[in-house]
Amino acid sequence: MDISPLAPKNFPDMPPIDGVKLATKSCGIKYENRADLLIAELAENTVVAGVFTKSKTASANIIWGKQVLYHGKARVLVVNAGNANTFNGKCGEDSVDRIVKSIAEDWNCPKEEIYPCATGVIGEPLPDNLITDALSSLKNNLTDNIWQDAAKAITTTDTYTKGSTRTAKIGDVEVKINGIAKGSGMIAPDMATMLAYIFTDAVMDKDVLQEIFSNAIDRSFNSITVDSDTSTSDTALVFATGKAQNDLINKASAPKLDDFKEKLYEVVLDLAHQIVKDGEGATKFVKIDVTGAEDDKAAKIIALSIANSPLVKTAMAGEDANWGRIVMAVGKAGEKADRDKITVSMGGIIIAKDGQLNPDYVEANVTAHMQGQNVEIATDVGIAGGKATVWTCDLTHGYISINADYRS
């Protein structure tokens, strides 16, 4: 598979994070000649928060994660690629039980501090013995500086590895934030065949961390779409090892956490954008701003209606300034829009306003904008102050080629 033309130039230089050790291994679940298993050992008392898929056919791993998350502590994260352990009935739950039991013994930790994740094909039994057999070797090879290997081990149809890093200040103390993610198809809010793991050395209260993380996810992973399809395995987790020396803060709204919130959001937004840029067959990265909606929720529904419209997405692929399809997608969203006040622009150029074509509109200018890799669509629907931004990619022959024979 060729690397996406929208891929970043480099994997970022990510520092070790105190309290996080990593190891990867090729355990033969599906892929040949590459690691397909990641383990992250977290310091004792590491705090965890997370968000999972809302799919009604979620995997056994998701069900486990949702059950234990309220404990708020994590000691071991294990992720396998190639088999999603989904729709195996009782068999999927047995696999999770065996993996968790084995890790609990090896690490001598409570089961509820173990997060097993899986991504890949649906409906095939997980050969969990390949995972449990690999554990002792992984435990002996833990190290603190293999972020790109870790990001690589969790990929499936991704064409590049995805990482992001920031530092933030909590009071006078500098804390680190590293994130890795995978995903390229079956990407839509709530959430995607998307796995994202964020690690920080900050000292954090679990409820505060959950509130900050949920808010950041809403405006990042839950604001992207590649193909409107939602996976059975989506998981985003954040681990705070507490090794930094910052004060514990008990309110998410405390100004002292502003910089941390901003930098954490930058990391998840960067990862979310990288996932869209690796959208199957993507050649354009498309930002969609909706303003003037009844409220923010309505704005997001309209923005996703535009982002998921196959006709809008193919127009992007064709570099065709077919703004009528944007109007169509606004209309089909079902949310209030004032036909005679709608404004549509691309690349900052006003195409239509007050419900009709802008008399000064020059199509060639928009076409030139669309020929770049980054396309911006904005619409104001003329009702009230609701706004939202979502990101997507175009729909190309590449998407069809990749997905018409993924399993073969």
Task: Give me the residues that bind its own copies (CB under 8 A), please.
Answer: 54-58, 84, 86-91, 121-124, 185-186, 188, 190, 227-232, 308-311, 314-315, 317-318, 320, 322-325, 327-337, 339-340, 342, 352, 354-357, 395-397, 399-401, 403-408
In the chain, the amino acid numbered 147 is: W
Alpha-carbon span 247 to 345, nearest angstrom: 46
Alpha-carbon span 41 to 227, nearest angstrom: 34
Q: How far is the CB of 53 from its own copies (least distance, A)?
A: 8
Q: Which of 361, 359, 333 lies closest to 346 in space, CA to CA?
A: 361
Task: Name the catalytic one among 155, 157, 161, 193.
Answer: 193
- The answer to whether the CB of 40 falls within 8 A of the CB of 77 is yes
User: Would you state the torsion angle of the CA atoms of residues 139, 140, 144, 145, taken in this order, to the nearest 10 degrees?
Assistant: -110
Q: What angle do CA 204, 173, 149 make, to 5 degrees?
A: 70
Alpha-carbon span 407 to 123, nearest angstrom: 12
Alpha-carbon span 278 to 184, nearest angstrom: 5
Of the pair 170, 217, the CB lying nearest its own copies is at 217
Q: How far is the CB of 370 from its own copies (least distance, A)?
A: 12
Of the pair 4, 46, the CB lying nearest its own copies is at 4
Of the pair 7, 122, the CB lying nearest its own copies is at 122
Positions of E strands within 139-184: 162-170, 173-182
The number of angstroms, rounded, from the C-alpha of 308 to the middle of its chain's C-alpha atoms is: 17
Q: How far is the CB of 86 from its own copies (least distance, A)?
A: 7
SS3 328: helix
Q: How far is the CB of 225 from its own copies (least distance, A)?
A: 11
Of the pair 245, 403, the CB lying nearest its own copies is at 403
Q: Residue 113, exposed/middle/buried by CB under 10 A (0-12, 13-18, 19+)?
A: buried
Q: How far is the CB of 144 from its own copies (least distance, A)?
A: 36
Alpha-carbon span 244 to 259, nearest angstrom: 15
The DSSP H or E segment spanning 379 is strand 374-380
Q: Verify whether residue 161 is a known catalytic residue.
A: no
- Residue 332 tokens read as 């089909």
Q: How far is the CB of 363 from its own copies (least distance, A)?
A: 10
Q: How far is the CB of 84 from its own copies (least distance, A)?
A: 8
Q: Which of 257, 320, 310, 278 lies closest to 187 in space, CA to CA?
A: 278
Alpha-carbon span 319 to 377, nearest angstrom: 13
- Active-site positions read 193
